Amino acid sequence: MLAPVEKPYGAWLSPITADLIVSETIGLGQIALSGDAVYWVEMRPTEGGRNVILGRTRDGEVKEINPAPYNARTRVHEYGGGAYLVAGDSVFFSHFEDQRLYRCRIDDSIEPLTLEGDYRYADAIFDRFRNRLVCVREDHTDKTREPVNTLVSIPLDGNKRISVLASGADFYASPRLSPDGSQLAWLTWNHPNMPWDGTDLWLAPVETAGSLGESKHIAGAADESIFQPEWSPTGTLYFISDRTGWWNLYRWREQQIESVTRMEVEFGVPQWVFGLSTYAFESAERIVCAYSRDGVSHLAIIDAASGVLEELETPYTEIGSLRAQAGYAVFIAASPTEFPAVVQLDLATREVEVLRRASEMSIDSGYLSIPEAIQFPTTAGALSHAFFYPPKNKDFTGLPGERPPLLVISHGGPTAATNNVLSLKIQYWTSRGIAVLDVNYRGSSHYGREYRQQLKGQWGCADVEDCVNGALYLAQRGEVDRERLAIRGSSAGGFTTLAALTFHEVFKAGASYYGVSDLAALAKETHKFESRYLDHLIGPYPERADLYAARSPIHAVDKLSCPVIFFQGLEDKIVPPEQAEQMVEALREKGVPVAYVPFEGEQHGFRRAENIKRALGAELYFYAQIFGFDLAERIEPVAIENL
Q: Does the pLDDT value for residue 50 go beyond 70?
A: yes
Burial of 600 (0-12, 13-18, 19+ CB in 10 A): exposed
Output Rg (C-alpha) for the chain, integer angstroms: 24
pLDDT score recorded for residue 188:
98
pLDDT tens-digit readout, 578-619 = 989 989 999 999 999 999 999 999 988 888 889 999 999 999
Neighbours of 262 (CB within 10 A): 10
pLDDT at residue 604, rounded to an integer:
85
Burial class (CB in 10 A: 0-12, 13-18, 19+), 634: exposed
**Rounded mean pLDDT of 613-637?**
96
Q: How confident is the model at residue 160 (pLDDT cuts 50, 70, 90)?
A: confident
Residue 614: CB partners within 8 Å, gap ≥ 6?
597, 599, 636
Q: What number does CATH give the domain 371-627?
A: 3.40.50.1820
Residue type, 506: V
Quote the CA–CA distance of 83 and 76 in Å, as a whole number: 9
Check whether 384 has a pLDDT greater than 90. yes
CA 210/CA 132 separation, integer angstroms: 9
Instruction: State the CB neighbour count (10 A cutoff) for residue 306.
Output: 9
Q: Which amino acid is at 40?
A: W
How many C-beta atoms surround the C-beta of residue 354 within 10 A?
A: 12
Task: Count CB-CB contacts under 10 A for residue 338.
Answer: 19
Q: How far apart are CA 67 and CA 88, in angstroms?
A: 20
| Cα(469)–Cα(496) distance, integer angstroms | 13
CA distances from 392 to 74, 334, 424, 541, 620 (A): 39, 20, 13, 46, 17
Q: Is 375 helix (H, G, I), strand (E, B) or coil?
A: strand
In this prediction, residues 109-121 reach a mean pLDDT of 96
What percentage of the chain carries pLDDT values higher than 90?
A: 91
For the chain, what is the mean pLDDT? Answer: 96
pLDDT at residue 23, as a whole number: 77
In this predicted structure, the answer to whether residue 269 has a pLDDT above a threshold of 90 is yes
Q: How far apart are CA 484 and CA 488, in angstroms?
A: 13
Angle at alpha carbon of residue 429, lines to 428 and 432, rounded to 5°: 95
Q: Is the pLDDT of residue 463 over 90?
A: yes
Average pLDDT over residues 199-226: 97
Q: Where are the domains of the chain?
A: 13-43+280-362, 371-627
pLDDT band at 427 (very low <50, low <70, confident <90, very high): very high
Lowest mean pLDDT among 222-226, 240-244, 318-322, 581-585: 581-585
Q: Does residue 375 register a pLDDT over 90?
A: yes
- pLDDT interval class at 106 (50, 70, 90): confident
Is the pLDDT score of 24 beyond 80? no
Burial class (CB in 10 A: 0-12, 13-18, 19+), 417: buried
* pLDDT (0 to 100) of residue 526: 83
In angstroms, rounded to a whole number, what is the distance separating the alpha carbons of residues 134 and 233? 19
This prediction has a pTM of 0.93
The helix (H) or strand (E) run that includes residue 121 is strand 119-127
pLDDT above 70 (res 1): no
**Closest C-alpha to 86, from 155, 24, 39:** 39
Query: At 377, is the pLDDT very low, low, confident or very high (cuts 50, 70, 90)?
Result: very high
Residues near 201 by beta carbon (within 8 Å), at least 6 away in sequence: 185, 186, 187, 217, 218, 219, 220, 226, 229, 239
Residue 49: its pLDDT value, please?
A: 87
438 against 21, higher pLDDT:
438
**Is residue 96 pLDDT above 90, yes or no?**
yes
Average pLDDT in the 315-326 region?
97
523: pLDDT strictly greater than 80: yes
Average pLDDT over residues 171-187: 98
User: What is the percent of the chain with per-residue pLDDT over 70, rounded to a whole number?
Assistant: 100
Beta bridge partners of 569: 599
For residue 190, pLDDT over 90 is answered with yes
